[in-house]
């Protein structure tokens, strides 16, 4: 299946699993679904191509991760997903994930639309174009800075969408710590690595999305939904079922509605955010 030209992409996460996004939501027209694209890194997870409010978009669930495609191994989920987004000409990307609070002022069901991140991973792909070249396909070379890793325009749309969807508290800024996973952290790790360093929430799947988006020249923003307190932060009286099944089943539809609000109101030709100015051609490979 050839990769279509589409300007908007939604990278799904645990927040919206089981919501039926995008086809089950009002106003969405599904154009293609369960489409697997071939990439130099192997076949992708199934994509959906859909349209809402005149904006066509690509959607891939759970960061492109499947039982056979990992995010910490060679030919990773991130490389496969972003190869498709590069070839599609995507310029606007939104992602989402559940997260744990590492700031004691944040509670479950709070939404954080981040403006900063700290990468604690060690096994994630780092350079998309270099990886593509290593597979024998010629692409350009770019350097970039992460002065503004999250697009303020897209972020404002996610803030508005989250408020409209009924989340009790929505924070328009915050710092995300990205853990390797898949295990959760110990109380000491939460305190020393995150809380004491001014990090507000911890998640596992913001990387490499946040810098692959910059590498391909696209705007990026994310919706982080607090599902639990970091270990030892406030309370130990939560269980995995409460945080990752019962909680998620309650908030997955509002999360999906918040994302769809952002897609519906995107202006694909708007470059006033300045994100594109943070990338430039480079002699580096």
In angstroms, what CA-CA distances link 241 with 227, 244, 245, 257? Answer: 11, 5, 5, 23
Per-residue pLDDT, 130: 95
Q: What is the pLDDT of residues 239-285, one digit of tens each?
A: 766 667 788 899 999 999 999 999 999 999 999 999 999 999 988 76
Q: Which helix (H) or strand (E) holds 34?
A: strand 29-35
* pLDDT tens per residue, range 98-142: 999 999 999 999 999 999 999 999 999 999 999 999 999 999 889
- Sorted by sequence, the CB contacts under 8 Å of residue 134 that are 6+ apart come out as none
Please say if the pLDDT value at position 238 is more than 70: no
pTM: 0.96
Domain boundary assignment for the chain = 8-97+125-178+205-225+252-277
**Cβ 87 vs Cβ 38: under 8 Å:** no
Q: Report domain 8-97+125-178+205-225+252-277's class.
A: alpha beta
């Amino acid at each position: 299946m050839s990769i279509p030209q589409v300007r908007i992409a939604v990278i799904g996460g645990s927040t919206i699993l089981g919501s039926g996004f995008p086809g089950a939501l009002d106003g969405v027209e599904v154009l293609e679904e369960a489409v697997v694209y071939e990439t130099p890194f192997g076949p992708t997870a199934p994509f959906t191509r859909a349209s809402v409010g005149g904006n066509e978009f690509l959607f891939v669930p759970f960061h492109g991760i499947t039982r056979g495609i990992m995010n910490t191994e060679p030919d990773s989920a991130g490389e496969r997903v972003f190869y498709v987004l590069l070839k599609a000409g995507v310029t606007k990307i939104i992602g989402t994930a559940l997260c744990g609070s590492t700031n004691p002022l944040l509670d479950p069901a709070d939404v954080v639309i981040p403006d900063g991140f700290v990468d604690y991973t060690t096994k994630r792909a780092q350079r998309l174009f270099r990886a593509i070249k290593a597979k024998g396909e010629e692409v350009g070379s770019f350097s970039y800075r992460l002065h503004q890793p999250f697009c303020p325009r897209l972020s404002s749309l996610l803030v508005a969408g989250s408020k409209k969807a009924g989340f009790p508290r929505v924070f328009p800024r915050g710092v995300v710590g990205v853990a390797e996973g898949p295990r959760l952290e110990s109380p000491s790790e939460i305190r020393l690595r995150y809380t004491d360093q001014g990090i507000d929430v911890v998640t596992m799947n913001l990387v490499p999305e946040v810098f692959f988006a910059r590498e391909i020249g696209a705007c990026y923003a994310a919706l982080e939904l607090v599902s639990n307190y970091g270990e030892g932060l406030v309370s130990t009286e939560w269980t995995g079922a409460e945080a990752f099944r019962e909680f998620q089943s309650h908030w997955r539809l509002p999360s999906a509605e918040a994302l769809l609000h952002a897609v519906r109101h995107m202006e694909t030709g708007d470059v006033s955010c300045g994100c594109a100015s943070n990338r430039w051609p480079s002699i580096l490979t």
